[in-house]
Amino acid sequence: MKIFKLFLIACLFTLTAQAQKKYELASPDGKLKTNITAGKQLTYDIVFNGQQVIAAAPISMALENGEVWGENDKPTSAKRKSVSEKVASPFYRAAEMEDNYNQLVLSFKGNWSVEFRAYNDGIAYRFVSKSKKPFNIANEEVNFQFNSDAKGTVPFVIRGSDGNYESQFFNSFENQYTVKNLSELNKKRLIFLPALVEVENNVKVCFTETDLNNYPGLYLSTEKGENLLSGVFAKYPKELEQGGHNNLQMKIKSREDYIAKVNGPRSFPWRIAVVSDKDIDIANSNLSYLLAAPSKVADTSWIKPGKVAWEWWNCWNIDGVDFNTGVNNATYKAYIDFAGRNGIEYVILDEGWAVNRKADLMQVVPEIDLKGLIAYAAERNVGIILWAGYYAFERDMENVCKHYSEMGVKGFKVDFMDRDDQMMTDFNFRAAEMCAKYKLLLDLHGTHKPAGLNRTYPNVLNFEGVYGLEQAKWEDPKILDHVTYNTQLPFIRQVSGPMDYTQGAMLNSTKGNYKPNYYEPMSQGTRCNQLALYVILESPLNMLCDNPSNYEREPECTKFISAIPTTWDETKVIDGKIGEYVVTARRKGDTWYIGGITNWHGRTIDVDLSFLGGKTMKGELFRDGINAWKKARDYKREEKSVDTSKKFKIYMAPGGGFTLKLQ
């Protein structure tokens, strides 16, 4: 009897093993691997230099009809390929990017498949449907399982009630980072992407998603298991009502029982894990862009990135003039004059140019002669960009785009979406497509992180989804810590793409001197910290947040900001540690810009410039002044020769920074 039982156990084990198909996929350099199992469950893990950083955990997609992709499914085929090619990226951090990966595609009965890609800096996967018949997705199972209590650096949804996910789904995707072990994180609050986890041996994993086209965005939660981040999705809206900020939003009254509608063959978003034991490798990752769908805009010659003279942050606060400043022609002509004198490409008319609470972009306030301002700006080689509330733009999108394009407007800044359910991510794509049709730039404010849309529609130059400088207008000094946050951004949020952070403050404060001021706001950190952000942050459409009067009192800094490029031929994050400091180098033509910032700890660093070939170059340096620790506006500009064969030593004051231009 004992022998018979052992025989049965052996048979069952053999059958189970046979039912489970196992595959290995390695990165081109072999340092990163994923082990995939298909059978009773579809699972994958991530191994970096022999260390398992993500343990095997199930992934699946549940259909409304009860079918589950990834449960009890045996692959019908497994196809591999390797790719090494260059991808053009003309309006981003580099003129082109290297796309080098190994791929495994597992196909299953039921016209679906799952694709895995292994890059040298990360692992990604996505589901694909070949079904021509419409269906609904009830849920997608996403799990990132860790072997121990890892340390998270995560942005929680700042709005809504603990435990009430529905209230949290309506949010602006803005918050500082919480740094705690996974076991200590609030299980009742949603985490939005990107988010970062550190495991043993200093290995970091940054999670994000891309190719987010007509599908709900992914949130993460620690609620479902120990050492586990699991996915949460907003269900599809059923009933909506107009409301929110100035009646420019659509709020959800009820939802369907599914997260997404599928109307034909399609691929679903890529789930990305960027992995390295070097912080700068995380910051240098281009996977969000590389995995996005290629450009749908054939002719991009009309797309002109650049800088924007922006009036909202500084409350139209020009001084020394003989007119009342505000939303009126005289004020905007002053901004246009400033932009024209300094080679700034655009002026934005932010909220206020259209009649308030009407959600109608065809109703212009009587104080504004829009046609006249556009003509006045054109004479000075300045373009006009218009702010638009989400619902006002959505309800009349083609008419608005056609009308204002014909008038000579160069683009729109669309704001207050504050959701990422399927209906809203579909809006972002339709808005991008419509703006491209009428040759309009698009800045998506009040929205989620970039998720590949800037590659698919390169006229989408910027996104918010960042706890940017606007927070300094009102945030409590006990809460706001932009200086630390800014040293985290390049390693987390920026992994997903560009950000409308809106730097450039000329009123700067030390840690103890900061106070919110709505009408005359200030930044935290030194003047050189603000200047360095123009090098460190990705921003193809880059705001000058302060007012013309303050800039004209600071001609050296204004000249630097006005002249700095917003897109680049080459970008390297060359040094840094998450939450402590970062140094970034960017090239435009033959000119290099090096920018560095530190947290609230002053530090001296040695910047390795050996990648420049050891030649001597002409340098323009902005560094913290000797008294910047107590007067944050104190800085020193120097012109000097720089021997790039030697390390460049520089001191950054607490909350400080530097920029170095090399030619």
Catalytic residue numbers read 415, 470
* Angstrom distance (rounded) from CA 157 to CA 192: 6
* Angstrom distance (rounded) from CA 191 to CA 206: 13
What length does the chain have? 663
Tokens at 658, concatenated = 């530097």
**Residue 131: Cβ within 10 Å count:** 15
CA-based nearest residue to 460, from 289, 585, 586: 289
From residue 13, alpha-carbon distances to 7, 38, 41, 274 in Å are: 10, 16, 16, 35
| Contact assessment for residue 220 and residue 276, using Cβ atoms and an 8 Å cutoff | no
Angle formed by the axes of helices 370-379 and 329-341, nearest 10°: 20
Q: CB within 8 A of 571, min separation 6: which ones?
A: 93, 94, 284, 584, 585, 586, 587
Tokens at 623, concatenated = 């560094």
Phi (first) and psi of residue 76, to 5 degrees: -90, -20
Through-space distance between the first and last CA atoms of the chain, rounded to whole angstroms? 85
Query: Coil, helix or strand for 542?
Result: strand
Q: DSSP letter string over 305-317?
A: -EEEE--TTTTT-
* Angstrom distance (rounded) from CA 526 to CA 620: 18
CA-based nearest residue to 534, from 575, 562, 496: 562
**What does the angle CA 309 – CA 314 – CA 316 come to, to the nearest 5 degrees?**
75
From residue 370, alpha-carbon distances to 265, 297, 442 in Å are: 44, 29, 19
Calculate Rg over the CA atoms of the chain: 26
* Angstrom distance (rounded) from CA 232 to CA 211: 18
**Residue 186: Cβ within 10 Å count:** 16
* Angstrom distance (rounded) from CA 81 to CA 94: 26
